[in-house]
Amino acid sequence: MKKYNGFESKIMGDFEQLPAGGYVCEIKNAEVIQNRNGGERLELAIDIAEGEYAGHYTKRYKEDTREDKKWGGKYVIFLPRDDDSEQDGWAKNRFNNVIGCIEDANDGFHWDWDEKKLRGKKIPLVFRREEFRKTDGTTGWTVKPFKCIAIGNCRDGKWGKYEDKSLSGSAPTNAQQFSEIDDGGELPWL
């Protein structure tokens, strides 16, 4: 066998998989990003704030020994284009719900169109399992946030029953939709 450059004997750690369900999270960073198609998205870097899995993404990030490690907890909201299309209506409804849930979870906070003020705020999210395609063609499963709910419902376990999102479904998964998003790797807010 031929020796390759960069060999280092080491044991890869297993990351604990977050179970699907509702979690009160904290927004670590909020940033409006331009999409390639001209639209915009609000990217929220999040971590679990309460319960057994508090600090889940911080722990994973700190334990990751890869050079190109990235923050694992993201919730992405595609922003309305204000063009009165059906898709724009959906985007407005989703954005309105997210902001309403954030205001509900943070006493005295009122949205003033400054995304930087979302840092440190709580956001109650439902996470579900999503199938994704690996680079080798096989598939795997991950758990991602997909819906914002009222904080009382989140804490009381009233987040409803949500099905796993498989690749065989008609709509693309979040992993497919966001595969072009560059995580950047830098975490100035840590």
pLDDT at res. 14: 53
Q: What tens digit of pLDDT does each residue of 128-181 get?
A: 999 999 888 899 899 999 999 999 999 999 988 888 999 986 444 444 343 334
pLDDT at res. 6: 63
Q: Indicate the pLDDT class of residue 50, thresholds 50, 70 and 90.
A: very high
Q: What tens digit of pLDDT does each residue of 140-149 get?
A: 899 999 999 9
Lowest mean pLDDT among 4-13, 51-60, 180-189: 180-189
Q: Indicate the pLDDT class of residue 9, thresholds 50, 70 and 90.
A: low
- pTM summary value: 0.80
pLDDT over threshold 90, residue 112 = yes
Q: Three-class SS string for the chain?
A: CCCCCCCCCCCCCCCCCCCCEEEEEEEEEEEEEECCCCCEEEEEEEEECCCCCCCHHHHHHHHCCCCCCCCCCEEEEECCCCCCCHHHHHHHHHHHHHHHHHHHHCCCCCCCCCHHHHCCCEEEEEEEEEEEECCCCCEEEEEEEEEECCHHHHHCCCCCCCCCECCCCCCCCHHHHCCCCCCCCCCCCC
Q: What are the φ/ψ torsions at residue 38 (nearest 5 degrees)?
A: 95, -15
